């Protein structure tokens, strides 16, 4: 098992280090996002979840990734502009990362170890794979790209009530 999730840091989209410990006690949804993917319209659903539950202690954490079909080719400024103008994204966005392979970001190494996919395969198969983390930092669920944000709402509600 890798380090505690709260011991890790990630770089925000505007280049500042963010300690994941800052999110201790919150329910978190990690998503590897891309702006040129068939699942990109899920940004709207993610933003809807964020706005609905953020005041109850919920955060969506978006991690742009260009590992799947080169569907996130932009730089940080282009990603920020796209998210803001197209989907009015207000949830935290992070710098572009790799989620698979030797260069996988430590956050994603942790999430995949904590909650492997089908048949125990850790590799993420595509953009918009989602990891749900409870208030104590435990990864409790992994959802494939085809699972919509709205479908995850009931799970978020259970964790917020816990």
CB 99 within 8 A of CB 127: no
Length of the chain: 162
Q: Known catalytic residue: 65? A: no
Alpha carbon distance 129, 147 (integer Å): 8
Q: Kindly name the residue from 5, 29, 34, 37 that is annotated as catalytic.
A: 37
Helix (H) or strand (E) holding 160: helix 149-161
Alpha carbon distance 132, 116 (integer Å): 12
130: helix, strand or coil: strand
Alpha carbon distance 151, 86 (integer Å): 22
C-alpha 102, offset from chain centre: 19
Name the CA radius of gyration of the chain, rounded: 14
| Residues marked as catalytic | 37
């Amino acid at each position: 098992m890798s380090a505690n999730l709260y011991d890790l840091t990630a770089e925000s989209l505007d280049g500042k280090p963010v300690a994941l410990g800052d999110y201790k006690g919150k329910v978190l949804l990690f998503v590897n996002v891309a702006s040129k993917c068939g699942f990109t319209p899920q940004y709207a659903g993610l933003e809807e979840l964020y706005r609905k539950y953020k005041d109850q202690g919920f955060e969506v954490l978006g991690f742009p990734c260009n590992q799947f079909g080169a569907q996130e080719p932009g730089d940080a400024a282009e990603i920020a502009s796209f998210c803001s103008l197209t989907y009015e994204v207000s949830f935290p966005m992070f710098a572009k990362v790799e989620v698979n392979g030797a260069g996988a970001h430590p956050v994603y190494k942790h999430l995949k170890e904590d909650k492997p996919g089908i048949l125990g395969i850790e590799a993420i198969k595509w953009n918009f794979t989602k990891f749900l983390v409870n208030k104590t930092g435990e990864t409790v669920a992994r959802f494939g790209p085809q699972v919509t944000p709205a479908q995850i709402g009931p799970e978020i509600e259970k964790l917020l009530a816990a």
